[in-house]
C-alpha cells in the first residue's frame, strides 16, 4: 500500500472515475449490512467526505470491526462513478489498513449536533467536526489573503516584539513576563519589586499591540503591516473578547485619516470577497447549518459603501433615538457595543466608520484636532460585532505629543524612542488594528469568539 501516493479528498472529488487511488482519513460514519459497508471518510482537506464501499465478500467482519466513527484509516481502491446521490465518485475498497481505532463507547464525537459549549470542552477533538473544519480552513484562507492583500500593494510585513518593556501602550491591562521567583521576590529599598534582578533588568509584559513599533517601521519603510498575537489581561468575559488574539496592524507614512479609512474599507471588502471566492464549500456549510443569511450578508458588505460619520453626530443620533440603552449615552462617554450596534444594525443598516472621538477616551498618540477636544480616531463598526477596527491618524508634532503625554501624567522613560521619531524627520502617518478573530466572527457567522480560534485563551481558561 505504501508504494502509492496518497491523494487528498479535495483532489479526488474533482477527478474522473477509472483510476486506483490511496486515501487516508478519519471515519465520519459507517452504515451497511452483511453484504456491503459504506464509510464516509474525511481527511480535513475539504468539508466533503469520500464514500468508501466495502464489498463484504472481499473483507471479513473482523477486518471491519475497528472501522468506527473517529477511527483513522488508509484505503486503497478504485475510483468509480457513484450511483448514490450526493457525490460523483466513490471508492471501491481493495485494501484496508487501520492506523488507529476509536472506541465507540468513549469517542466523544458520536452523535451529531453537539453544542458549541460541549465542543469547547473537547478542544483537542473539535477540529474533527465539520463545523470546526470549515472555520479553521476559512481562518487559514483569511490569513493568506491578508498577506496577499498587503504584499500586492507593496507593504512590508514587520515583525514587532511579543515581549515588551514599554508599559505605556495604553490599549489594555497587560500580562507580566518574569523569571523572578514568585515565592521569594527581590525587593528594592522602598519595598517595591526589584526588577533590576528580573530577566530583562526591568518589568516586562506581553504586548497588547504592535502599533508603536509599527510606527517606527512606517517612518522608515513607508508602508508596513504587522500580523501577530496580542494579549490583554482584562477580565472581559464576553463573546467578543479573548485574552490572546491576533491582530493585523497596517501603519502607513503620508496617510491622513481619509486615506486610512479608504484602506480599511478596501481591506475588509477584499477579505470578504476572498472568502466568497475561495471558501465556497465551507461558507455554504456554515450558511446551511448555522446562519441562513451568512452568504447574503457577506455579499452585501462588498456591495455597500460604509457610512462615515463623526462621533459627535453619532452620539446625537443615539440620544435622539428614543432607544433605552443599558448604558446611557452623552457626548464624552465611550460607546458601548449596544450603541455601536444600534448605529450599524438599526439606524444605518450598514457598516459605519466613526471618527473624531473625544480625546479623553482615546490614546495619547492620536492626532489632535484644532477644536482641542477631539482626536483623529476612527473605529469601524460592523453588524453583529460592533468594533472590528480601531485606528487613527497619529500625532506627528513633537510639541503636541509631549503636551498630551504631560496632560496624562504618563511616565516617558520607557517611551523615549517613540518620542524621538517626532524629533527626527517626523511625518504625517496613520494606521489601524483589525482584530483577526472579530473579522472571522463576521465571515463565519459564529456568535462566540472562542469558536473562531483553535485554542482560545480567556479568563480561567487555558486548556489545550
* Contact positions vs ligand ATP (CB under 6 A): 171-172, 232, 241-242, 245, 247, 387-390, 433, 435, 437-438, 449
| Residue 255 vs 432, nearer CB to ligand ATP | 432
Neighbours of 346 (CB within 10 A): 11
- 385 to 424, contacts with Mn ion by CB under 5 A? 390
Q: Where does 164-256 have alpha helices with state H?
A: 211-221
Among candidates 238, 250, 267, which has minimal Cα distance to 211?
A: 250
- 88 to 107, contacts with Mn ion by CB under 5 A? none
Find which of ligand ATP, Mn ion, none residue 353 binds, CB within 5 to 8 Å per kind.
none
Cell triple for 223: 508602508
How far apart are alpha carbons 282 and 276 in whole angstroms?
10
Output DSSP code: residue 164: E
Find which of ligand ATP, Mn ion, none residue 438 binds, CB within 5 to 8 Å per kind.
ligand ATP
Q: Which residue is nearest to Mn ion (CB)?
A: 390
| Residue 56 vs 143, nearer CB to ligand ATP | 143
| Residue 9 vs 388, nearer CB to ligand ATP | 388
Strand 204-206: give its sheet, edge to edge. Answer: 163-164, 204-206, 176-177
Beta-carbon contacts of 156 under 8 Å, excluding residues fewer than 6 positions away, are 217, 221, 223, 224, 225
Task: Tell me the window of 33-41, 269-277, 350-358, 383-391 that interacts with Mn ion (CB under 5 A).
Answer: 383-391
Cell triple for 406: 504631560
Cell triple for 403: 503636551
| Residue 70 vs 383, nearer CB to ligand ATP | 383
| Residue 77 vs 390, nearer CB to Mn ion | 390
Min CB(389)–Mn ion separation in Å: 8
Find which of Mn ion, ligand ATP, none residue 433 binds, CB within 5 to 8 Å per kind.
ligand ATP
- 143 to 182, contacts with Mn ion by CB under 5 A? none
Q: Which residue is nearest to ligand ATP (CB)?
A: 435
By CB under 5 A, residue 133 contacts Mn ion: no
Find which of Mn ion, ligand ATP, none residue 359 binds, CB within 5 to 8 Å per kind.
none
Find which of Mn ion, ligand ATP, none residue 388 binds, CB within 5 to 8 Å per kind.
ligand ATP
How far apart are alpha carbons 1 and 19 in whole angstroms?
15
| Residue 155 vs 245, nearer CB to ligand ATP | 245
Min CB(142)–ligand ATP separation in Å: 14
Give the H or E element holding residue 268. Answer: helix 257-278
Task: Tell me the window of 68-76, 81-89, 365-373, 384-392 that interacts with Mn ion (CB under 5 A).
Answer: 384-392
Cell triple for 291: 446562519
- Residue carrying C-alpha cell 460592523: 382
- Residue carrying C-alpha cell 465507540: 104
Beta-carbon contacts of 181 under 8 Å, excluding residues fewer than 6 positions away, are none
Distance between start and end Cα atoms, the chain: 34
Cell triple for 200: 530583562
Min CB(91)–Mn ion separation in Å: 51
Min CB(234)–Mn ion separation in Å: 13
Min CB(284)–ligand ATP separation in Å: 26
Min CB(30)–ligand ATP separation in Å: 40
| Residue 134 vs 452, nearer CB to ligand ATP | 452
- Residue carrying C-alpha cell 503625554: 405
Min CB(184)–ligand ATP separation in Å: 33
Backbone phi and psi for residue 136, each to the nearest 5 degrees, phi listed first: -75, -30
How far apart are alpha carbons 25 and 340 in whole angstroms?
44
Half-sphere exposure in the Cβ direction for 230 (13 Å, CA) = 24
Find which of Mn ion, ligand ATP, none residue 123 binds, CB within 5 to 8 Å per kind.
none
Min CB(32)–ligand ATP separation in Å: 46
Beta-carbon contacts of 178 under 8 Å, excluding residues fewer than 6 positions away, are 198, 199, 203, 204
Find which of Mn ion, ligand ATP, none residue 281 binds, CB within 5 to 8 Å per kind.
none
Name the CA radius of gyration of the chain, rounded. 27
Min CB(128)–ligand ATP separation in Å: 25
Min CB(387)–ligand ATP separation in Å: 4
Contact residues for Mn ion, defined by CB under 5 A: 390
Amino acid at each position: 500500500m505504501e508504494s502509492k501516493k496518497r491523494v487528498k479528498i479535495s483532489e479526488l472529488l474533482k477527478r474522473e472515475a477509472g483510476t486506483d487511488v490511496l486515501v487516508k482519513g478519519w471515519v465520519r460514519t459507517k452504515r451497511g449490512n452483511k453484504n456491503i459497508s459504506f464509510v464516509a471518510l474525511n481527511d480535513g482537506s475539504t468539508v466533503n467526505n469520500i464514500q468508501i464501499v466495502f464489498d463484504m465478500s472481499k473483507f471479513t467482519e473482523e477486518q471491519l470491526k475497528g472501522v468506527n466513527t473517529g477511527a483513522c484509516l488508509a484505503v486503497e481502491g478504485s475510483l468509480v462513478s457513484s450511483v448514490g446521490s450526493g457525490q460523483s465518485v466513490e471508492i471501491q475498497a481493495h485494501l484496508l489498513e487501520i492506523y488507529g481505532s476509536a472506541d465507540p463507547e468513549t469517542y466523544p464525537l458520536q452523535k451529531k449536533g453537539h453544542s458549541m459549549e460541549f465542543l469547547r470542552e473537547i478542544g483537542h477533538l473539535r477540529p474533527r467536526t465539520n463545523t470546526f473544519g470549515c472555520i479553521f480552513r476559512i481562518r487559514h484562507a483569511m490569513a493568506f489573503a491578508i498577506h496577499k492583500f498587503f504584499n500586492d500593494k507593496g507593504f512590508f510585513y514587520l515583525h514587532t516584539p511579543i515581549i515588551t518593556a514599554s508599559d505605556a501602550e495604553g490599549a489594555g491591562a497587560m500580562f507580566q513576563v518574569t523569571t523572578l521567583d514568585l515565592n521569594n521576590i527581590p525587593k528594592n529599598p522602598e519595598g517595591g519589586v526589584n526588577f533590576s534582578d528580573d530577566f530583562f533588568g526591568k518589568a516586562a509584559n506581553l504586548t497588547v499591540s504592535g502599533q508603536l513599533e509599527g510606527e517606527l517601521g512606517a517612518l522608515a519603510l513607508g508602508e508596513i503591516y504587522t500580523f501577530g498575537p496580542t494579549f490583554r489581561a482584562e477580565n472581559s468575559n464576553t463573546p467578543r473578547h479573548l485574552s490572546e488574539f491576533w491582530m493585523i496592524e497596517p501603519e502607513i507614512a503620508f496617510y491622513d485619516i481619509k486615506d486610512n479609512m479608504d484602506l480599511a474599507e478596501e481591506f475588509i471588502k477584499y477579505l470578504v470577497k476572498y472568502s466568497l471566492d475561495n471558501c465556497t464549500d465551507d461558507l455554504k456549510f456554515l450558511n446551511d447549518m448555522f446562519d441562513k443569511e451568512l452568504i447574503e450578508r457577506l455579499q452585501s458588505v462588498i456591495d455597500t459603501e460604509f457610512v462615515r460619520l463623526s462621533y459627535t453626530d453619532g452620539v446625537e443620533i443615539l440620544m435622539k433615538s428614543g432607544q433605552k440603552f443599558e448604558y446611557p449615552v452623552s457626548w464624552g462617554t465611550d460607546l458601548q457595543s449596544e450603541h455601536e450596534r444600534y448605529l450599524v444594525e438599526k439606524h444605518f443598516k450598514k457598516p459605519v466608520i466613526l471618527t473624531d472621538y473625544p480625546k479623553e477616551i482615546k490614546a495619547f498618540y492620536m492626532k489632535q484636532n484644532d477644536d482641542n477636544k477631539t482626536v483623529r480616531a476612527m473605529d469601524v463598526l460592523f453588524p453583529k460585532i460592533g468594533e472590528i477596527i480601531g485606528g487613527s491618524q497619529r500625532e506627528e508634532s513633537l510639541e503636541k505629543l509631549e503636551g498630551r503625554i504631560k496632560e496624562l501624567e504618563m511616565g516617558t522613560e520607557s517611551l523615549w524612542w517613540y518620542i524621538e521619531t517626532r524629533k527626527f524627520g517626523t511625518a504625517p502617518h496613520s494606521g489601524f488594528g483589525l482584530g483577526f478573530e472579530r473579522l472571522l466572527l463576521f465571515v463565519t457567522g459564529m456568535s462566540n469568539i472562542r469558536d473562531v480560534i483553535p485554542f482560545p485563551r480567556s479568563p480561567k481558561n487555558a486548556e489545550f
